[in-house]
Amino acid sequence: MRITRETLLKIARDTAAQRVRTSRRIVCIYLTGSVLADEPLIGGTADIDLVCVHDSEPPMRREVVRLVDEVHLDIGHYPQSDFGQPRHLRQDPWLGPYITSHPLLLHDMAHWFDFAQAAITAQFNTPENVLARAHAFSDTARQTWLNLRLSGEVTPEQVWGYLRALENSGNAIAALSGAPLTERRFWLGLPARAEAVGRPGLATGLLDLLLPEALPAGDWQSWQPHWQNAMAAATQSPLCPARLHPARLPYYLRSAAALFEPSPAAAAWLALRTWTQAAALFPADSAGLAPWRSVLASLGLDAAGFSARLDAFDAYLDSLEETLDTWGKENGI
């Protein structure tokens, strides 16, 4: 199958039409994410991000549907009530930015979306609201750091928390100049976002917290069979989260392979995040955890190095918080 942006847009429109035909509870459907960009494919793969707004609580919040190996639907389901407080959504770090950043409207009952978008967009980019969205990310990162410091353990859950805290720190920077950065393009976009606020060192400093040393190609290749085995095993678990749905495996594996040469950090980011979530589904005494632990040790994220890494992260968060304070003062807050 030849996949183009036009192909993906047609699938999105057809899916929306089919969903509306089969459910009268859907108030609105809009397309967001990479399909709206000029180059939606990485490694020949893409997901089609749809948001369905229902008139009541939907039966699920996230749905992944395989189309072909290279393409899947990633559908977020929300009740209409989640959009009922425009003032709150102006400061919501995820929903607000993506409803105001020109999504493609595919279905809109009684102009619900038009009214909701207009209400949220009003004052959306005032300095107070921009800073509130950035602080939502940085405050969450700081709280995670504190929880990790108090725990003193290095489990898959703790490492996942650490990776999420890095993501939130990066998006605190990104929020000052636009929408938050999504997973595959996080490390591709972060340097420009840090540059936009005059602090390019925040991007390189965050990278040091993930990959203190350059990742050799040989090491990267040695990860591959173990990472893929862990991902495949995770899909068999009844607790497997939607983000590790079998339809998403080619999306991660092929994207990471394509990203390694231009950005080892972007490739390692995908591998570490998904591998760590898969590891959380393994029994604590599983032999399948040994390769994951070996990779952590090589990155200084094992029990011997995790405390020192948290110390470095503490200093980084101090710098991030000072940056947000300075940005606020410069913008009249």
Can you give the pLDDT at residue 153? 80
b/e code 216-239 from CB counts within 10 Å (16+ = b): eeeebeebeebbbebbebbeeeee
DSSP states along 149-203: HHH----HHHHHHHHHHHHHHHHHHHTTTSSPPPTTTHHHHHHHHHHHTT-THHH
- 283 φ, ψ (degrees, to nearest 5): -60, 150
Instruction: Give the whole-angstrom CA distance, residue 94 versus residue 77.
Output: 14
Can you give the pLDDT at residue 151? 84
Is the per-residue pLDDT at 152 higher than 90? no
Give one word for 136, left, alpha or beta, with left for phi > 0 and alpha for psi -120 to 50.
alpha
Can you give the pLDDT at residue 261? 96
| pLDDT-derived band at 14, boundaries 50, 70, 90 | very high
Q: Give this prediction's pTM.
A: 0.96
Instruction: Give the whole-angstrom CA distance, residue 183 versus residue 180.
Output: 10
Question: Over the stretch 172-211, which tens digit does the pLDDT of each residue have?
Answer: 999 999 999 999 999 999 999 999 999 999 999 999 999 9
Decide which of 151 and 297 is more confident. 297
The DSSP bridge pattern shows strands 62-68 and 71-79 to be antiparallel
% of the chain residues with pLDDT over 90: 97
The mean pLDDT of the chain is: 96
**Residue (of 279, 251, 250, 255) closest to 267 by Cα position:** 255
**Residue (of 132, 112, 155, 119) closest to 292 by Cα position:** 155
- 26 φ, ψ (degrees, to nearest 5): -85, 120
**Residue (of 313, 317, 319, 268) closest to 158 by Cα position:** 313
Can you give the pLDDT at residue 1? 72
User: Mean pLDDT throughout 266-283?
Assistant: 98
Do residues 172 and 132 touch, judged by C-beta distance below 8 A?
no
Q: How many CB atoms lie within 10 A of CB 310?
A: 18
Domain ranges of the chain: 5-121, 128-319
DSSP states along 5-17: HHHHHHHHHHHHH
Say which amino acid occupies 10: K
User: Mean pLDDT throughout 38-64?
Assistant: 96
Question: Over the stretch 130-150, which tens digit does the pLDDT of each residue have?
Answer: 999 999 999 999 999 999 998
Instruction: Give the whole-angstrom CA distance, residue 165 versus residue 141.
Output: 4
Which tokens belong to 313? 């992260």
CATH class of 5-121: alpha beta
Instruction: State the distance between the two ends of the chain, measured CA to CA, in whole angstroms.
Output: 52
Do residues 251 and 215 touch, judged by C-beta distance below 8 A?
no
Question: Over the stretch 78-129, which tens digit does the pLDDT of each residue have?
Answer: 999 999 999 999 999 999 999 998 999 999 999 999 999 999 999 999 999 9
Instruction: Give the whole-angstrom CA distance, residue 47 versus residue 49.
Output: 6
